[in-house]
Amino acid sequence: MYELIDAFPQQLKEALEIGRKAQLKAPDGPYTNVVVTGLGGSGIGGRIAAQLVAGEAICPIEVYSNYYLPAYVGKGSLVIACSYSGNTEETIAAMEQALAKGARVCVVTSGGKMLEMAKAKGLDHIVIPGGNPPRTMLAYSLTQQFFVLKHYGIIQSDLVPAISAAADMLAADKASIQAAAKELTEKLFGKRLVIYSEASTEAVSIRFRQQVNENSKELCWHHAIPEMNHNELVGWAGGKDDIAVVIFRHKADHERSQIRMEINKEVFRKYTPHIHDIWSQGDSAIARQLYLINLGDWVSYYWAEKKGVDPTEIAVINMLKGKLAEVK
């Protein structure tokens, strides 16, 4: 796991080369909506990408992590089917629905049944490197989202320079990022983690939660501001000092959201002293989010190391998949 997290900047560079070389058919269109179907480490890239391009996308982009697609999916839809293994049963089911409804389908995978389907049906597809835990391959699946969205005319921006510059930044700042991650891990160890961010960057909080779940073998939860101010903030009446709060922050967060965060911290302090603002770094929106992703990945690794657990082990998920496979 250490080597895979350490390789994140280089993976971003390799992902850019894969995207540049992707051979996709004429985009046709225009498209009235985009649906990304994927789960876990395969689906989070779609959530991050959708939030990053929300300000320029010409149509709605939604992520569905289930067996089904919304009723509006049809001939004017673009469906991006993402499964690292290519064998995720929920994503295959959604992909089959998309094809039955006449949607344009583009597949991002390393192989499996979905790649076989894509080749057999002549669907656009991008193949990413296989053989690793899906959560460690985010650089590849996330980067391809931007290439796909640009190819089909959903966005106009070329994000290649920003991603490349972000990869250089993460590589150059490796020591400081690791040091910050170790320091944060020490503060979180032995506590129940709660993650907050502004709603516009919630996907990065979800990614951190997923990594703490899988790598650190810890329960935690996340919520977004301002929504949590209308419900969960009241729930803090049941807060305890064994809870640690991490707030992912960006200087570009809405000024009213930043005011809310400061007021929220006053509430949190009544119940716990463990409150940590983590400010993003980087020269672009994508760089700042990639910084927080990389930092969170390192925290999840150091947390596992401190607990003495294997960050790669996911026996309970494999057990679930095995039992599902027995049910026809």
By annotation, the residues acting in catalysis are 214, 230, 321
Distance between CA atoms of 291 and 170, rounded to whole angstroms? Answer: 7
| DSSP annotation string for 257-276 | HHHHHHHHHHHHTTT-S-EE
- Give the Å distances, CA to CA, from 165 to 7, 39, 160, 290: 15, 28, 9, 11
Signed CA dihedral, 293, 299, 301, 307: sign only = negative
Kindly report the backbone phi and psi dihedral angles of residue 93, in degrees, each rounded to the nearest multiple of 5, phi listed first.
Answer: -60, -45
Smallest CA-to-CA distance from 223 within 255, 244, 258, 247 is with 247
Distance between CA atoms of 317 and 291, rounded to whole angstroms? Answer: 28
DSSP state of 26: -
Cis peptide before 273 (omega within 30 of 0): no
Q: Which residue has the tokens 């560079």?
A: 13
| DSSP annotation string for 82-135 | EESSS--HHHHHHHHHHHHTT-EEEEEESSHHHHHHHHHHT-EEEE---SS-GG
Which amino acid is it at 227?
A: E
* Element (DSSP H or E) covering residue 212: helix 202-214
Residues 118, 124, 130: CA angle, nearest 5 degrees: 65
Beta bridge partners of 64: 37
Torsion-angle region of 164 (φ positive above 0: left; ψ -120 to 50: alpha; else: beta):
alpha
Distance between CA atoms of 293 and 197, rounded to whole angstroms? Answer: 13
